[in-house]
Structure 1
Amino acid sequence: MPAKHIEVKTFKLAHSIDDTVKIEHVEKPYGEYSSPVVSIAVYSHGKTKTSEVEIPYENIETFLKALHESIDLCESIPRNPIYAELNSDIGGGA
């Protein structure tokens, strides 16, 4: 029996025009007796899969913890405020 993909959520990828992220539950991903996984895929222009990772459910808690640690790390790095180089609250343009 082939793998069965059940869509959980699709959303627009930030800082892109029309790239999306699709999260799916996948039953029997590697054959009849394989355990289910979560698939996280990025689609370019909403159509062409450009990357994908499949994570066994046994690793989800560790994966989520690592994502939260990554967010904390990102937020701890000092950055210039957006548009600071323009000394303005909004972007430039002619």
Structure 2
Amino acid sequence: MPAKHIEVKTFKLAHSTSDTVRIEHVEKPYGEYSSPVVSIAIYSGGKTKSSEVEIPYENIEEFLKALNESIALCDSIPRNTLHGELNAEVGGGA
């Protein structure tokens, strides 16, 4: 029996005009006796898969913990306010 992909959620990738992130539950990803995984894939233009990672469910808690640690690290790094030099919410252009 081939792998069965069940879509969980698809959403637009930030800072992109047409790329999406698709989260899927995958049953029997590597054959009849393999354990299910979560697939996280980036689709260019919403159609062509450009990258993918498959995480076994046994690693999900550790994966989520690492993501939260990454968010905390990112938040701890000082940055300039987006478009702060313009004193506006959006950038300008010529």
- State the Cα distance separating 1:61 from its structure 2 match: 0.2
Within the alignment, does 1:48 sit opposite 2:48 as a pair?
A: yes
Question: What percentage of aligned pairs have identical amino acids?
Answer: 82
Q: Deviations over 1:25-68 (max 9, x none)?
A: 00000000000000000000000000000000000000000000
Q: Which residue of 2 aligns with 1:6?
A: 6
Q: Which residue of 2 aligns with 1:75?
A: 75
Aligned-residue RMSD, C-alpha? 0.9
TM-score normalised according to structure 2 size: 0.95
Counterparts of residues 52-63 of structure 1 (less than 5 Å)? 52-63=52-63
- Runs of 4+ in structure 1 off by over 3 angstroms are none
SS of equivalent residue, structure 1 residue 70: helix
CA–CA distance in structure 2, aligned partners of residues 20 and 51 of structure 1: 11
Q: Can you give the 5+ residue segments of structure 1 that lack an aligned partner in the other structure?
A: none
SS of equivalent residue, structure 2 residue 52: strand
Q: AA paired with 2:73?
A: L
SS of equivalent residue, structure 1 residue 17: coil
- State the Cα distance separating 1:84 from its structure 2 match: 2.3
Counterparts of residues 23-38 of structure 1 (less than 5 Å)? 23-38=23-38
SS of equivalent residue, structure 1 residue 53: strand
TM-score normalised according to structure 1 size: 0.95
Q: AA paired with 1:21?
A: V
